Structure 1
Amino acid sequence: MKNYELISNPKLDEETISTQPIFEGNIITLQVDTVRMPDGNTATREVIKHPGAVAVLALNQNKMLVVEQYRQPMHRTEVEIPAGKLDKGEDPLAAAHRELQEETGLHSGDMRHLKSFYTSPGFADEIIHMYVTENAQPGDMSLDEDEFLEVSELTLEEAYQYIADGRIADAKTIMAVYAWHLYTLTGQWH
């Protein structure tokens, strides 16, 4: 995995002058930063800090494993690939194995990293590390006490139909479907 924090352009970088904490929750914190812009003027930036997350594209006999669960911010259920937040100091690969097992009961020995990406870099530092596995073995689910979901499998065609119908609407799952489609065309994970 690349270290995205090291990428810089001195002509565009902003210097943080001060940080004012606003809210600290179980998953996110909100802060307002005062920054010095490249032209010397100052501005404020509202920033959500997030510990990061993992997502797993799990394929079994040419079908993608998905979970459907209610998402309060959208007030609806979403069909998504298994995913979850990183615990403090947790290795992303270990978290991917943990989340796959917790949400689906599956265990995988051959998980590989596909890509890491920021979800909303204009106001949040959340990064998702996406993994793929093609040979997961069944086991027992161990959902969190506040987690209710249904597990199912979709063909590539069904996944595209779910996207068209709006049942799949989150970026990580759409990205996983596109990566899977590219894999079917090239035989390579890009």
Structure 2
Amino acid sequence: MKKFEEKTVKTEEIFNGKIVQLQIDEVQLPNGKTSKREIIKHPGAVAVIPITKDNKIVFVEQYRKPLEKSLVEIPAGKLERGENPLVAAVRELEEETGYTTNSLSFVTSFYSSPGFANELLHIYITDDLVKLDEPQPGDDDEFVEIVELTLDEAKQYVEEERIHDAKTNYAVLYLHALEGR
């Protein structure tokens, strides 16, 4: 057994939904004892840091039911099973903002909550936005409003907790670091 590895002894599926699957794994710990792990399986997600020609960042504001409030976020969405993240990133950019791009660069990938979920989030950036003549329709149950902010305004939104999710905080920090170069 690898250092710290937890070997799965038994898996019980609790819920299998449209977006996530919840399971409880009984695991054997490195010391030989057993424990239970509640695990959320997720197909992964993409997010885009879109920057306009006048150097504004395009965000979307939307209501987040688990938080019972609206957040301002970079455009993002879940991957369909087996979908190429780059293709999904363009799709989400188009659906959520009405922009498309011919130049999307990979920034990073990270696990959003590795303590209980396997969601891997891929982040891209573009400063080559093109407004679509006919924007792609978004999901029927998704209501968003476009918010364009300078980096300084975005930093203020972070302080005010209007931007308050990991991927968007990462995006603002990433752009701040690029600005310092």
TM-score range, shorter chain: over 0.9
Aligned mates of 1:116, 1:176 — CA distance in 2: 12
1:120 to 90, 103, 113: 113
Q: How much has 1:127 moved relative to structure 2?
A: 1.0
Partner of 1:171: 166
What percent of counterpart residues are identical? Answer: 50
Aligned mates of 2:63, 2:87 — CA distance in 1: 25
2:7 to 11, 15, 19: 15
Q: How much has 1:136 moved relative to structure 2?
A: 1.0
Deviates more, 1:134-143 or 1:80-89: 134-143
Aligned mates of 1:56, 1:33 — CA distance in 2: 33
Equivalences for 1:97-176 in 2 at 5 Å? 97-139=90-132, 140-176=135-171
Q: How much has 1:141 moved relative to structure 2?
A: 3.8
Instruction: Give TM-score scaled by structure 2 length.
Output: 0.96
**Stretches (4+) displaced over 3 A:** none
Partner of 2:70: 77
Partner of 1:25: 17
Aligned mates of 1:109, 1:185 — CA distance in 2: 27
Q: How much has 1:185 moved relative to structure 2?
A: 1.4
Partner of 1:53: 45
Aligned mates of 1:116, 1:11 — CA distance in 2: 24
2:59 to 42, 63, 66: 66
Partner of 1:86: 79
What secondary structure, in the 3-state scheme, does the structure 2 residue paired with 1:130 have?
strand
Gaps of 5+ in 1: 1-8
Gaps of 5+ in 2: none
Q: How many residues align?
A: 178
Letter in 2 for 1:19: T
Partner of 1:180: 175
Aligned mates of 1:163, 1:58 — CA distance in 2: 17
What secondary structure, in the 3-state scheme, does the structure 2 residue paired with 1:144 have?
coil
Aligned mates of 1:112, 1:19 — CA distance in 2: 38
Letter in 2 for 1:31: Q
What secondary structure, in the 3-state scheme, does the structure 1 residue paired with 2:50 have?
strand
Aligned mates of 1:169, 1:12 — CA distance in 2: 32
